[in-house]
Amino acid sequence: MTELKNDRFLRALLKQPVDTTPIWIMRQAGRYLPEYRATRARAGSFMDLCKNADLACEVTLQPLERYALDAAILFSDILTVPDAMGLGLYFSEGEGPRFTNPVQSMADIEKIGIPDPEGELQYVMNAVRTIRRELDGRVPLIGFTGSPWTLATYMVEGCSSKEFAKIKGMLYDTPTALHLLLDKLADSIILYLNAQIAAGAQAAMIFDTWGGSLTPATYREFSLRYMQKIVDGVTRENDGRKVPVILFTKGGAQWLEPMTETGCDGLGLDWTINIAEARARVGDKVALQGNMDPCVLYASPEVIRQQVADILAGYGQGSGHVFNLGHGIHQHIDPEKVGVLVDAVHELGKQYHTTA
């Protein structure tokens, strides 16, 4: 077991004492960094970058060279699992992900198999192993997946969607088919996350990007139900340490209580809820991650520091807060502003903690 030099992130998720509030940033390895763009150009394509363990490791570590972040997150994509199911993932310039073989019927769903994490998805595990080795205990490594509902939206729509017409048509008209698809995805994700953890991931995050598109009833039946299955099935201890699990439903503030009841360790918050209200609702049952509006990073350093101060004060005293943006960092953000954010969290966060 490699000794962690900085375990603030893991301790905060487990509500253990920390010396200051930890921070990492969704999409922290990405297009806002010139060094990322250079590596991406060398790779040839986005998926070639994901599938090259050395290059995936390189871009994972790039933000840690610039900023005093408290965690690294595996550089990969949420759509690796559907791709491994044979749907033919590709990326169109300016249009996002697309599938050549979208799922359109019960027959299509019945043909889908469960990918082998050390087979079709071995490139992800190779990246995890490489990153853990190169981190050498510097900070923890976060593994991740998309939620079954979010992955299913891409698989059925065939691409990104604003209306979700095809999958919601399936949801209402042939729910049995959609449940079969979601069940296969949940089974696949459990294997996928557990393989990431065995390969070295020290925390796991489930991105339910499109859960907020559902009604309260359909959210519970078609999204939360399958995230619950994953939380129940994922490895929660490895290498002598607990492995925290974070659930994040974008647009899901109304469902914090049922999300808490899954037994996860942390909830990701977007910027549409006040963190003080969120903490009042969930109490000390889970840690909270978030939740600054990414657009704050377009503002002056003074405004960034004030926004950080407001969110830290909103959470208040004690451990259990991991600072993050409410969603992924935008590609046109000035990297210098990210440094302002990270330093402000560590500096201003100290007053809310007793020494660990």
pLDDT given for residue 159 in this prediction: 87
Distant-in-sequence, close-in-space partners of 152: CB < 8 Å, separation ≥ 6: 103, 167, 178, 181, 182, 185
Class of the CATH domain delimited by 34-294: alpha beta
List the alpha helices (DSSP H) in the chain: 8-13, 34-43, 46-51, 53-66, 80-82, 106-111, 122-135, 148-157, 165-173, 175-199, 216-219, 225-233, 256-260, 275-282, 301-315, 335-349
Q: Helix, strand, or coil here: 90?
A: strand
Q: Which residues pair with 142 in a beta bridge?
A: 73, 203
Distant-in-sequence, close-in-space partners of 263: CB < 8 Å, separation ≥ 6: 231, 232
183 is in an annotated binding site: no
pLDDT given for residue 1 in this prediction: 59
21 is in an annotated binding site: no
28 is in an annotated binding site: yes
pLDDT given for residue 356 in this prediction: 46
> How many other CB atoms are found less than 10 A from the CB of residue 338?
22
CB 188 within 8 A of CB 115: yes
Residue 114 has φ and ψ, to the nearest 5°, of: -95, 115
268 is in an annotated binding site: no
31 is in an annotated binding site: yes
Mean pLDDT by 10 residues, the chain (356 residues): 89 97 97 96 93 97 98 96 93 81 95 96 98 97 98 93 94 98 98 98 98 97 98 96 98 98 98 98 96 98 98 97 98 97 98 81
How buried is 197 (Cβ within 10 angstroms: 0-12 exposed, 13-18 middle, 19+ buried)? Answer: buried
Distance CA 296, CA 327 (A): 12
CB 313 within 8 A of CB 277: no
Distance CA 29, CA 222 (A): 31
Cis peptide bond upstream of 291, omega within 30: yes
209 is in an annotated binding site: yes
CB 281 within 8 A of CB 275: no
Return the active site residues. 27, 31, 40, 77, 154
DSSP 3-state percent helix, strand, coil across the chain (nearest 5): 50, 10, 35
29 is in an annotated binding site: yes
Q: At what angle do helices 53-66 and 122-135 cross, to 10 degrees?
A: 40
* Residue with token string 């900070």: 139
Distance CA 290, CA 31 (A): 21
pLDDT given for residue 269 in this prediction: 98
Strand order in the sheet with 321-322: 72-73, 141-146, 203-208, 245-249, 266-268, 287-289, 321-322
Distant-in-sequence, close-in-space partners of 60: CB < 8 Å, separation ≥ 6: 29, 72, 73, 74, 75, 127, 131
Between the CA of residue 255 and those of 214, 215, 264, what are the distances in Å? 11, 11, 14
**H or E element that contains 142:** strand 141-146
The single-letter DSSP state of residue 221 is I
Distance CA 275, CA 312 (A): 9
